[in-house]
A and B are shown apart, each in its own frame.
Chain A
Amino acid sequence: MSEEQASEAVAPILDAVRQAVAEAAPLEIVGAGTKRGIGRPVDATGRLDLTGLTGIDLYEPAELVLRAGAGTPLAEIEAAAAANRQQLSFEPPDFGPLYGGEAGRQTIGGVIACNLAGPRRVQAGAARDHFLGVDAVSGRGEVFKAGGRVVKNVTGYDLCKLLAGSHGTLAVMTRITVKVLPAPEKIRTVMVLGLSDEAAGAAMRAAMGSPYEVSGAAHLPTAIAGESPVDMVRDAGGAVTLIRVEGPGPSVEARAESLHAMLAEFGGTEELHSSRSMALWRHLRDAAVFAAETARPLWRVSLPPSTGAGFAARVAAAGPLRHCFDWAGGLVWLELPDEGDRAKASLVRAAAAEAGGHALLMRASPDLRAEAPAFHPPSLGRAALSARIKEAFDPCGILNPGRMYPKG
């Protein structure tokens, strides 16, 4: 790639990293800082703020690519894409309010670094699947790039994949290239009413296995449905299972109709049109129902979809909780009443592992995040390999030390 990132933008970042290396003074890497509550508390003496790295420097809608400084507000990118009837199809969630912050402040760098995706994950993939290229500064104080600015590329190792979800522990990303895709013309949501977690799981999996190109499958048990911002969900008077279809008008109508017919065997069905659907899925995407009580521990558990309901039941048997399902049962949100019962963390973790998945302690006090710990503990082999990868990028351990694991 001949188009280097402007050196006056990168130089201060490079300088700060090199200085941190020289002084053995670890840095906390932050964009807007909306997700600082994810992971273990960082053991850093300084802070490297990337919010100065702003601006979309390349956007070619017909090529489906957009490139921007890592500190560019996601809202700016989403607005630019929307003006061309495009979008980031992995549906990046906004978790700012889960930690008591404002909505709408996060940066593209933060979204990619945490590899966060919303309900469309089941169809379109995660953030990492839309992350095409990167310019970065390693913990060695060296500028490097990986990937490219075209949608199809297998040249060299896919370092973008490693950086997505590395929570700033491997390199400081300074510029990011992502894939943008057409935004759907129309959205409809088919609701199935009154299902148990178990039955809802079966309904969601049936919908996902259908040829109707479902782009979201979630289940809200009674208590959660009752707090929905969308009247038809709130007033349903029980649990609500939600199946979303998106696309060109005639296609969406035909598919919604087919889904009604298919899902009738599970329970009564209703339908939400575009504006209600948008509000509903945005609320789900952001796990906004858990933003009211920010002191309560919150878990985000990724599992084989068919095990979701059983997993939730197992944790529920040990005491009260609030929970809901996304990704057709493959993502379970669990909110516990308080941190009093420390053994609960091990229970969540053990139940997740047994189901073939893993649990992220998404929100808790710094003490509990260090102790539990926040990220699912890796196997010995994985831990050793991950430590060597950390060393390959950041041999002095100056980038977000401790964020993911005690030593990395």
Chain B
Amino acid sequence: MQMPEPDRSVQDRAPEILRGLREILAGEAVIAGETELRAYECDGLTAYKALPMAVVLPSTTAEVAAVLRFCRSQGVKVVPRGAGTSLSGGTLPLVDGIILGLGKFKEILDVDFENRCAVVQPGVTNLAISQAVEHEGFYYAPDPSSQIACSIGGNVAENAGGVHCLKYGVTTNNLLGVEFVTMEGEVLRIGGKALDAEGYDLLGIVTGSEGLLGVITEVTVRLLRKPETARAVLIGFPSNEQAGDCVAKVIGAGIIPGGMEMMDKLAIRATEDFVHAGYPLDVEALLIVELDGPKAEVDYLIEKVTDIASACGAVYSRTSETEAERLTFWAGRKAAFPAIGRISPDYLCMDGTIPRHRLPEVLTRMAELSEKHGLRVANVFHAGDGNLHPLILYDANAPEELEKAEDFGADILRLCVEVGGVLTGEHGVGVEKRDLMPAMFSEEDLKQQQRVKCAFDPDGLLNPGKVFPLLHRCAELGRMHIHRGRMPFPDLPRF
């Protein structure tokens, strides 16, 4: 993975830069020892590692602003980091930059049930928000699988999803406001407790910007009342086509389940061996469909869903009768990644989204690719919204297997784009999919995105090397040759 050429003049000034940082932050909040830095050398995408010049752990927004102002004045690159659970290398360090960790921002500042929102610091974990409000029957809806560990600030930066987002939306649909600090050290507050924000939707653009636009220092999230009940049904099919057809027919019938997950045979077997969730082993595809809401609705819709499933040729169907049983159904799905980890030394998790009706074709071609690259692939799939998680099985210790796995992954993602889908549904571009961006976007598309980056960070010091395959200087992107009365587009056909 090619990262931006390190700036030697910055690296040479490392001692001086460290002194400057220590003037801003108390002793232990600046980490520079090699052993301690190792803890920050990678995130959830462990294939890539680098040691930053330093890690800083500020405790207040004012400190974040001071660090950013200082780094800007010194030309030092900054990589913001929450819990470090990114699966796309969003917080991969730069050797000529620092990591700005938000781990000390751990307070839940305000829980406001009247207005159904909570104001929290970015280092609070996703799950901790729901836990802090559950005594009143509320929760925060987006639920990425890493929710025990991942931080809400990181969720905002990556626009994290989860298994319930078909019905309840992803992070961007569940936020009301943020406070963030620009690379210039300016603190901006966007939104608040009102539903609609004023002016340009800065909250919308900062969400999912992968730490390239600003450092989030406070988040106001929407809280939802917990559904009265939830029941899940396990449905097995003799083919992936029939399972896909069932998903389409459920949605076609006007039902938006709380969750609708699909697993292929390899994934079913691996998870069943690991968790013993009671999954049927003689089916090609398994659906978990969860209905939540008022009891009357759930009972009514479960029946509709099972009827649709039988009409689609389901050979297995089991509805959860107790809460414990429902959780067992999910235990398998939620352990799918570690289960794959048991049958293969390493795996790469892909994250493309496709128009769902192309699923049979995509799975067939994925099997061909698996053959071509000589690596196995297991599929778990947020079936409701078409978000695929192919898990490519490989062995990092075998020569060139990582490269093979990456090539295989790139082929899968190009296939997703080819059928009308996208490179990433919820994990972000980061460094992992950066170089595939031209498969989906034209040069002009990418330049327009980078011009927005320039509006926030004209020197390109915030998290460079992520998202965009080619870094243009802002001055170059902004250039337009216009003279009054003279067409800048002489080759334009006239009408």
* Residue ranges of A at the interface with B (Cβ–Cβ < 8 Å): 1-3, 11-12, 15, 18-19, 21-24, 60-65, 85-86, 115, 117, 121-122, 125-126, 128-129, 138, 140-146, 148-162, 164-166, 170, 181-183, 185, 205, 208-213, 247-251, 253-255, 258, 302-306, 327, 330-331, 356-358, 360, 375-376, 378-379, 381-382, 385-386, 388-389, 391-393, 395-396, 404
Contacts and interface: CB of A to CB of B under 8 A. Distances in A.
B296 interface: yes
A359 to B, nearest CB: 9
Nearest to A4: B442
Given A304-B194, A305-B114, A211 B294 contact: yes
Contacts of B420: 1-3, 149-150
Contacts of A146: 445, 448-449
A152 B492 CA distance: 37
Contacts of A115: 196, 201
Given A154-B425, A182-B256, A356 B192 contact: yes
A151 B387 CA distance: 9
B50 interface: no
A255 B454 CA distance: 50
Contacts of A305: 114-116, 193
Contact of A161 (B138, B205, B423, B437): B205
Contact of B422 (A22, A153, A379): A153
Given A157-B452, A183-B254, A128 B204 contact: yes
A251 B199 contact: no
Nearest to B382: A152
Contacts of B172: 129, 158, 161
Given A85-B254, A381-B188, A389 B200 contact: yes
A376 B202 contact: no
Interface in B370-412: 382, 385-387
Given A15-B492, A15-B495, A158 B196 contact: no
Contacts of A149: 355, 420
A165 B198 CA distance: 9
Given A145-B441, A182-B254, A251 B115 contact: no
Contacts of B297: 247-248, 250-251, 254-255
- With most chain B CB atoms within 10 A of its CB, the pick from A150, A255, A386 is A150
Closest 4 CB pairs of A and B: A161-B204, A251-B297, A182-B254, A304-B193
A148 B480 CA distance: 28
B204 A158 contact: yes
B6 interface: no
B300 A248 contact: yes
28 contacts: A11-B495, A15-B495, A22-B482, A22-B488, A62-B251, A63-B355, A126-B195, A142-B448, A144-B445, A146-B449, A151-B353, A154-B170, A155-B437, A156-B467, A161-B201, A162-B205, A164-B201, A209-B113, A211-B226, A251-B300, A255-B294, A306-B112, A381-B186, A382-B188, A389-B205, A389-B455, A393-B448, A395-B480
B132 interface: no
B39 interface: no
Contacts of A143: 444
Interface in B481-495: 482, 484-489, 492-495
Interface in B341-389: 353-357, 382, 385-387
A159 B165 CA distance: 20
Given A63-B355, A149-B355, A158-B205, A376 B199 contact: yes
Contacts of B418: 2
Interface in B412-435: 417-418, 420-429, 433
A166 B199 CA distance: 7
- With most chain A CB atoms within 10 A of its CB, the pick from B417, B447, B449 is B449
A115 B199 CA distance: 11
A392 B489 contact: no
Contact of A140 (B186, B252, B480): B480
A330 B117 CA distance: 13
B208 interface: yes
B256 A181 contact: yes
B488 A21 contact: yes
Contact of B158 (A60, A86, A154, A254): A154
A155 B201 contact: no
A157 B445 CA distance: 10
Contact of B492 (A18, A166, A302): A18
A251 B296 contact: yes
Given A154-B427, A330-B195, A209 B225 contact: yes
B356 A213 contact: no
B207 A156 contact: no
B386 A62 contact: no
B192 A304 contact: yes
B411 to A, nearest CB: 17
B266 interface: no
Interface in B172-209: 172-173, 182, 186-190, 192-196, 198-205, 207-209
A351 B455 CA distance: 32
Contacts of B165: 152
Contact of B194 (A253, A358, A382): A358
Given A156-B440, A158-B208, A386-B200, 16 more contacts: A3-B420, A62-B357, A86-B254, A122-B195, A125-B169, A126-B196, A142-B448, A148-B421, A154-B208, A156-B437, A248-B297, A255-B297, A302-B195, A357-B194, A388-B455, A392-B452
Contacts of B115: 205, 304-306, 330
A142 B446 CA distance: 12
Given A356-B193, A385-B188, A395-B480, A208 B161 contact: no
B200 A396 contact: no
A213 B421 CA distance: 32
Given A138-B448, A157-B452, A22 B256 contact: no
A356 B191 CA distance: 9
A238 B189 CA distance: 41
B293 interface: yes
Contacts of A19: 487
A211 B204 contact: no
A182 B248 CA distance: 13
A212 B294 contact: yes
B37 to A, nearest CB: 29
Contacts of A360: 198
A395 B478 contact: yes
B198 A378 contact: yes
Nearest to A359: B198
